Amino acid sequence: MMRQYELVERVRRYNPHADEILLNKAYVYAMRAHGAQKRASGDPYFTHPLEVAAILTELRLDDATIVAAVLHDTIEDTPATREEIDQIFGEEIGQLVEGLTKIKKLDLVSKRAEQAENFRKLLLAISADVRVLLVKLADRLHNMRTLHFVPESKRRRIAEETLDIYAPLAGRMGMQSLRDELENLSFRTLMPEAAAMIETRLADLRAQNGALIARIERELTQELRARGIAAEAKGREKAPYSIWRKMERKSVSFEQLSDIFGFRVVVDTVEDCYRVIGVVHTKWPLVPGRFKDYISTPKQNDYRSIHTTVVGPGRQRVELQVRTRDMDDIAENGIAAHTLYKEGRVSDNERLERESRAYRWLRRTIELLGEGDTPEEFLEHTKLELFHDQVFCFTPKGRLIALPRSATPIDFAYAVHTDIGNKAVGARINGRIAPLLSELQNGDEVSIVTAEGQSPPAAWETLVVTGKARSAIRRATRDAVRAQYAGLGRQIVRRAFERAQKTFSPDKLKAALPRLARNTVDDVLAAVGRGEMFSGDVVKAVHPEFVPERAPGPAPSKTEAGWFGLSKASRLAFKVPGADGADGSIPIRGLGGDLPVRFAPVGGAVPGDRIVGILTPGEGITIYPIQSPALTQFDDQPERWLDVRWDIEAEHEGLYPAQIVVSAINEPGTLGSIANLIGETGANIDHVQFANKSPDVRDIVLDLEVRDLKHLTGILSQLKASSVVSKVERVNG
């Protein structure tokens, strides 16, 4: 176990002015607090926070961060309190330790929800002070180094969490050395055979190529020195997990990889970086498409370097990374390499000016993701936002937008601004009109076409790849649905007040919110629109003396509920039971023989649908639209599928079955209004069923007969525009 004086000496090696008294005080306090606690290895628990502090001294961090590392488990695992930490060590250190403490006694059903809520708390603490992240990553690294002492039942979960969350987060913050070690330790736990195979192959390759690597290092250094460039050239080896990931992604073998070994050239100035490239490209042929300049266009995690591949000595492909010493420090240690995190507290203005791009981006991302999502959604969106390789695109004005690979113009639009994403209707990529679902490439210039009044389709949520876009689309969809229900609820409540001979007033309703257990008037109206609250209860909340004229009851029979005050004219829209189509035949091509043919029993099919036939021996053929969920039951019976299509003229007059569900206000005349609207379109209503959703809203299932898909779509559009209709959709049985 590290001694007290050893910890102080470690810090004083890089910080001669370290607060020795503060460090000693933290050592003694944590040792006493953890007392006789043991780790899974049997070692005193206190060895763990000391090792975490030791890792951070290698990153040359400030006294407060080292002290927070020593104390990081005290609030969570000992009787120590935040108030006591503040009193002894100050509020700054207390805040760091609090940020590293998991939430206790979470009343959550699933382990995933608990993990997500703790992760949200951690990220919010990181957004306030990045040193929380540095301690957390060092904590995770030491836990992974000692994972073999943990019960086997827990190892896989910890390794998966490290690989899914903490290693990518370290990479996003530019801490590549730490990321590589976290990934390789997880790799050995999760895929021990694959890890052993890669490491054995690497050892063999190292032995074979040792002389060649030394030769390339020597020739590079001599060539650059001859041109007056002071440079240090070193061979580097790709990390085992990185090799495995590339083999999986590219579906190639170990022998097919050409970049297992590469070379790093470190120089003094940015000008020297470009001089090196000039020398290298003059001396050896460039491999086309392998040049990347991350100095002029840095990565989001502050990584800066020039990458190139040439055909070098011995006709070998040689990958080169060229960077300055400062760039090399940041490439390995990321945000920990910034002097800002080594100097303790600074003013807000200084912090804003000097903090790393990676940290600014992380703070902004956390702020955007934290708006109204559940813990599970937050974790999902953060993974999407943080943990993907990137492409770099530009706005027409030259602003750089970094996005995950496979991103679309929709992701780009939301990255520019949420309002632009919500209003997006089209895109231009490099000046050409392109679909919104196009995959963006490095260097694309993207322009988004917007339209006022547009809102994002809910389906976009499953098509985008950034957490910000997915979160914004989900919120916009919820807001749109909520607004729709609130609008319907407002009509229902107004009419309820009129029936009670009262005047509806939003202000009076606002005063009655506590009685209804809702926060806003819109919450009440949306609840009524969704059928979660009875409109009579709203009237009673505003006017306690009022007695609702009816309360929720059992579903009425078809006869009782059905006509809702339906007029004689409305009834004409209903088809007389037993009537057949024009000639009783179904115009379908691709059918042979005299087998009976019928439409799907639920939902039917109409011209314009892509259709398939399902053969049932002894019964005949059933026609389904291709989107019917019922087809999944035949997935393992391909011999029953028939390729069929409609055989109709442009001006056909037949009617075909379709089923829709309409959610509408439950009051006299509603069904008549719906039936009249359908009748005016020339469609027939063949059958009606009702579901008792609530006393204010009913679901009406309508079996229709329509001419084709265009006819059906027009009916759905007109119903959606009706003031008595909340929602309408086609049923695909």
**Catalytic site residues?**
76-77
Q: What CA–CA distance (Å, rounded) separates 528 from 521?
A: 11
Token match 């009419």: residue? 495
CA atoms within 13 A on the CB side of 143: 18
Please, which residues have CB within 8 angstroms of residue 364's CB and are 6 or more apart in sequence? none
Contacts of 143 by beta carbon, 8 Å cutoff, 6+ apart: 48, 158
DSSP string, 474-521: HHHHHHHHHHHHHHHHHHHHHHHHHHTT----HHHHHHTHHHHT-SSH
For residue 583, the number of C-alpha atoms closer than 13 Å in the C-beta half-sphere is 5
Other Cβ atoms less than 10 A from the Cβ of 655: the count is: 20
Helix, coil or strand: residue 312: coil
CA–CA dist 718, 723 (Å, integer): 10
Q: Say if CB 331 and CB 347 are below 8 A apart.
A: no
Neighbours of 598 (CB within 10 A): 13
Q: What residues contact 329, with CB distance under 8 A and at least 6 apart?
A: 337
Query: How many angstroms separate the CA atoms of 123 and 467, rounded?
Result: 15
Q: Which amino acid is at 717?
A: S
Q: Among positive and negative, which fits the CA dihedral 586, 591, 594, 597?
A: negative
Which residues, in sequence order, are bridge partners of residue 659?
703, 731
- Give dist(CA 589, CA 11) in Å, integer: 83
Show the tokens assigned to 31. Answer: 């040792």
In what side-by-side order are the strands of the sheet with 432-434?
432-434, 424-429, 446-450
Token pair for 345? 């507290």
Angstrom distances, CA of residue 613 to CA of 516, 643, 648: 52, 7, 17
In sequence order, the β-bridge partners of residue 622 are 598, 614
Sheet holding 641-643, edge to edge: 597-599, 620-625, 611-616, 641-643
Residue 74 neighbours by CB under 8 Å, 6+ apart? 29, 30, 33, 34, 80, 85, 97
Q: DSSP letter for 38, please.
A: B
Amino acid at 696: D
